[in-house]
Chain A
């Protein structure tokens, strides 16, 4: 935790109400973005972001100052989002990867006539990406959507998901490979 974060936490814990507002203000945009991308539901973001911060304040006294405050808050946001997905029955953690098929996917080359730089093709790809992203197992989907958030680096996302950076990179690669397979099927 850097000095700025430490000072903010200490001020909040010493009973400074303004520091509590500042803490929410500093991290709410990213917390909301993490939740929105994880749930894909704009209507629940505000409530879940609020729940995230309430959990943060409840546990702030126990926060390990050796860690990074932002990573800790985003991890709580991620857990709140997962809890919500479980509650509404949308959590799909299990892997649907068939390794033999995945290896085959790598050997599939795009058709010669396929030109992803063309505007129409690109729009079609984007549509497929949006649709298929929702169908990916959450392990890969979350790795993809979190690492695509500007301001979240690989170590932070790995910390949020509780996995090593190498594993996260594998999830990102596998997720993209699955999307590539779906795009190849759709084209």
Chain B
């Protein structure tokens, strides 16, 4: 490694204990880099020893109370319906929603065929079977999605 590259490395952190073995070895051999490292270390120390602020007594209470008065609680309410929360709620409740939709469709079909059911049980079964056959692909997909969602929910609960 060139002196410039090495100086850049300890220019970021000049503490000797944090330098790699290759750099330490170079420092033993190169007086220029060694002097630069010592200089950077002194700069680091001086920068670290600069002032740290201590809040005066009562600062937190005073500013906390002022801040409380400024809190935008309306936006805080909006925060509760942030995308993250909506997303997570949707994922969690998706199986129930899908099951609900499926039940509703089934119930609707049942009700719409209630007249036929009353007059002829056989006609209703035939009609329903025809419907199932005609929509077999859609129903298969729906069932698969519902099953998958249930699996995801169960897995999430197990992993929690």
Contact = CB atoms under 8 A, between A and B. Distances in A.
Interface of A: 12-15, 17, 20-25, 28-29, 31-33, 35-37, 42, 45-46, 49-50, 53-54, 56-62, 65-66, 106, 109-110, 114, 116-117, 122, 125-126, 129-130, 133, 144-145, 148-150, 169, 172-173, 176-177, 179-180, 183
A147 to B, nearest CB: 8
Contact residues of A: prevailing secondary structure:
helix
Interface string B52-89: 11111001110111111011111110110010100000
Contacts of A29: 52-55
A53 B35 CA distance: 44
Interface of B: 3-4, 7-8, 11-12, 31-32, 35-36, 38-40, 42-44, 46-48, 50-56, 59-61, 63-68, 70-76, 78-79, 82, 84
Given A13-B76, A61-B73, A61-B78, A172 B11 contact: yes
B52 A33 contact: yes
A53 B71 CA distance: 11
A54 B63 CA distance: 8
A180 B39 contact: yes
B40 A176 contact: yes
Contact residues of B: prevailing secondary structure:
helix
Contacts of A45: 53
Given A46-B55, A148-B50, 14 more contacts: A35-B53, A50-B63, A53-B64, A53-B66, A57-B67, A57-B71, A62-B72, A106-B7, A109-B32, A109-B35, A126-B42, A144-B47, A173-B12, A176-B40
Contact of A25 (B7, B50, B64, B72): B64
Contacts of A23: 64, 67
A148 B47 contact: yes
A173 B8 contact: yes
B63 A53 contact: yes
